[in-house]
Chains A and B, each alone.
Chain A
Amino acid sequence: AQSVTQLGSHVSVSEGALVLLRCNYSSSVPPYLFWYVQYPNQGLQLLLKYTSAATLVKGINGFEAEFKKSETSFHLTKPSAHMSDAAEYFCAVSDTGRRALTFGSGTRLQVQP
């Protein structure tokens, strides 16, 4: 069975500061890992994905994530937060056997001016 744990339901950073959102996964087979962002009253938009190619994955809006198998982690980072980054972020896992996504509980990012 797959599962995802996101540490911290709320993260607050100052504009220009580093953003770090944590995600740990559990999967019995090589996983596909995703980060999605959800703005208020919107659907989910893909930020980036890992599908067993490069372990450092770059996404949209300056975000990146590193797949670390030894730590079963896929943390999301951005060097400098922008006010427009305020949203809810979801980590998700799937695999070739089960295409449906299993989501973490989400992390709400606040960006302070």
Chain B
Amino acid sequence: DAGVIQSPRHEVTEMGQEVTLRCKPISGHDYLFWYRQTMMRGLELLIYFNNNVPIDDSGMPEDRFSAKMPNASFSTLKIQPSEPRDSAVYFCAGNRGDTEAFFGQGTRLTVV
């Protein structure tokens, strides 16, 4: 298995632009999580899905952030419009039941 695949690995965009981060989870994983990592706030949960249904989006910072999971093999995190304070590393992770979460390599987002 190729593991959790995130794309792009790096994204540099201008303030005000729309950014879409993508995640392909491991086949068979029924939970999918989006985390954000910054120096100031550490690793924080943004949203998670179970069987493609959003369960908890209380960590999504603002309405500018949205996430979808149209099927079991794909999820997106969109920021529109982007702001410099959104600069961070965004991780996608997944698991099945009570197993540990497997993380992707992350997308490093820089908003200038």
Contacts and interface: CB of A to CB of B under 8 A. Distances in A.
Contact of A105 (B42, B95, B100): B42
A105 B33 CA distance: 18
13 contacts: A41-B108, A42-B105, A43-B4, A43-B104, A43-B105, A44-B91, A49-B100, A99-B95, A101-B35, A101-B93, A103-B42, A105-B42, A106-B43
Contacts, number: 46
Interface residues of B, number: 23
B25 interface: no
B101 interface: yes
Chain B interface, DSSP helix/strand/loop, else mixed: strand
Interface string B32-65: 0101000000111100101000001000000000
A99 B42 contact: no
A29 interface: no
B45 A100 contact: yes
Given A43-B105, A44-B91, A100 B42 contact: no
Contact of A100 (B56, B98, B100, B103): B56
Interface of A: 32, 34, 36, 41-46, 49, 51, 90, 96, 98-106
Contacts of B93: 44, 101
